[in-house]
Chain A
Amino acid sequence: MRGRANAGLVAGGALVGLVVLTAVASFFWTPHDPTLVDAARKLREPGGGYLLGADKFGRDTFSQLMVGARTTLYVGVVAVGIAAALGVPLGVIAGMTPRGWLSELIMRVNDLVFAFPALLLAVMLGAVYGAGTLTAMIAIGVATVPAFARVARAATLQVMVTDYVLAARAAGRRRPAIAVRHVLPNIGSMLIVQASVSFAIAILAEAALSFLGFGTRPPTPSWGRMLQESQELLFSTPRLALWPGLAIALAVLGFNLLGDGLRDHLDPKLRRVEER
């Protein structure tokens, strides 16, 4: 069983690595300018320097995919960063003072935010401030805060009853010191797993938002918008939907596999039923 779990980790790592490498490479080189509109290349078939062909505006699909990877990672990193930066401290505080009013308040607010999915937040933000990459990132980030807060709280609750924390408290260490010295290092592995899983969800959310026109705005390439633009051409040029669709699915699969694999690798106690 151990071998299978590691296989997932390797496959996930490879897929994520591929997305990251593509995104990094797109800064230095793309076969063509991904945003260059050229009527002469309209719906050009694959081949002859256009590996995957061109779309209805004559933009090179492969170049768009490469830069789209950058957009996806950018949104994911910022959104997960926002979620972790807000969610982890809240979760740790709630976990360290499980019976306090503060903990109660945090978890109640958490429940409320949970009722506002990323898409609704993005639509509301978009309606007020105008749609764009930033509103999408904030919406996805805020909507992901509860997930981080819950995991951080649950993990903190476990750490707080361990002997070494009890010893530290008996020795009179103050709470912030315990949080930094004992709690954070010990819940780190769970947070990394959560980050990986949240990243996958953020990619899905970004794709959906861009598909609806609430995410990345043109001309910046985005996998979700590529899909949306391809939909009307599904009858004539289905390949335009195939490539961004595949890119989204593989990136999400990669982060999911990575998360599962890390869960097994970092902490055998957390090994999920599937891999037992």
Chain B
Amino acid sequence: MTFYLLKRLAVLLAGIAVAAVVVFAFMSLLPGDPAEIALGVNATPEAVAALREQFGTDRPPVVQFLDWSGGLLQGDFGTSYVTSSPIGPQIGDRLGVTAVLVLGGMAVALVLAVPLGTFAAVHHRDPLGAVISAASQVGIAVPAFLAGILLVYVFAVQAQALPSGGYVPFAEDPGEWLRGLLLPWASLGLVQGAVLTRYVRSAVLDVMREDYLRTARAKGRGSTGALWRHGLRNASVPVVTVLGLQLATLLIGAVVVERVFVIPGLGDLLLNGVAGRDLLLVQGVVMVLVAAVLLINFVVDVAYHLLDPRLLR
């Protein structure tokens, strides 16, 4: 296990390093000089050159990359060419908001999908099981931002029970914080829950056909007890893999949902950065999101190995 963990950790770090190169190279392709953009068209060449030197963009790309990635290691994302404010703290603030959004959405998805998927599998011959399957198929077809708009219409416009958008920090007012997050969580969670329900259902169906479930019943368990004691952990092995993929999907979905609900998360920061041509900011946020996806994959792989002793060597 230790060997596996170290090996997998090395793959993770290598992945992040390569991703940093890719992101940096990509953003450096930009036609246009940050110094020129900052000073506008009427700037004198001398002023541009001076600002270039101040930004450090007059140095060779390799040096710039080493400078940038070296800073990343210490949590320093550089200083914005546009707003002249340090990027790291901004990302730090926004990351927390997005993390709460994503984890809450995942929790909603799990709370929905595990019971519904299991129920649909156990009752796969009954009409109700078929209804759940059909409903999940429809749920998959609805993108999170559309679900968000629908939820706003029902709960904010019609029922006027919840805010249609905006974000109140937890420290300011926990109650409002929660009220503001309910619809965003639901929009992310309902859609991912539909996807997850299908996976849970097929994983539980697979497990229900396993010989060891018959063995459990031969020991004296009822079919429910056998499924509970022997089935669900086995079914969780494939589901965990999907969960990781979904967490990554949710992270990206959150970018869009933040826009729907006007939540100041990483997605909002990213889109503002693009709109304001704040390249270093975009570069930093993209890097954080990519690293998060890689980290999630890493955690899933490790969890997978912890769940299934057959993979331990």
Contacts and interface: CB of A to CB of B under 8 A. Distances in A.
A127 B157 contact: no
A67 B259 CA distance: 25
Interface residues of B, number: 50
B145 A117 contact: no
Interface stretch (B70-78, B89-97, B132-140, B220-228): B132-140
- Chain A contact-residue range equals 35 or more
Contacts of B22: 112, 116
A250 B146 CA distance: 13
A2 interface: no
B282 interface: yes
Contacts of A276: 205
Contacts, number: 119
Contacts of A212: 255-256, 259, 271
A227 to B, nearest CB: 7
Contact of B286 (A123, A204, A245, A248): A123
Interface in A237-276: 238, 241, 245, 248-250, 252-253, 256-257, 272-274, 276
A154 interface: no
B293 A252 contact: no
Contacts of A117: 248-249, 252, 293
Interface stretch (B24-32, B50-58, B79-87, B102-110): B24-32
A51 interface: no
* Interface of B, helix, strand, loop or mixed by DSSP: helix
B252 A120 contact: yes
A200 B19 contact: no
A78 B143 CA distance: 21
Interface stretch (B33-41, B148-156, B173-181, B211-219): B148-156
B206 interface: yes
B234 interface: no
A273 B15 contact: no
Interface in B127-171: 133, 137-138, 140-143, 145-146, 149-150, 152-153, 157, 164
7 contacts: A111-B15, A112-B22, A123-B282, A207-B143, A208-B145, A231-B260, A245-B150
Interface of A: 111-112, 115-117, 119-120, 123-124, 126-128, 200, 204, 207-208, 211-214, 227, 230-231, 234-235, 238, 241, 245, 248-250, 252-253, 256-257, 272-274, 276
Interface of B: 15, 18-19, 22-23, 26-27, 29-31, 133, 137-138, 140-143, 145-146, 149-150, 152-153, 157, 164, 198, 201-202, 205-206, 248-249, 252, 255-256, 259-260, 270-271, 273-274, 277, 279, 282, 286, 289-290, 293-294, 297
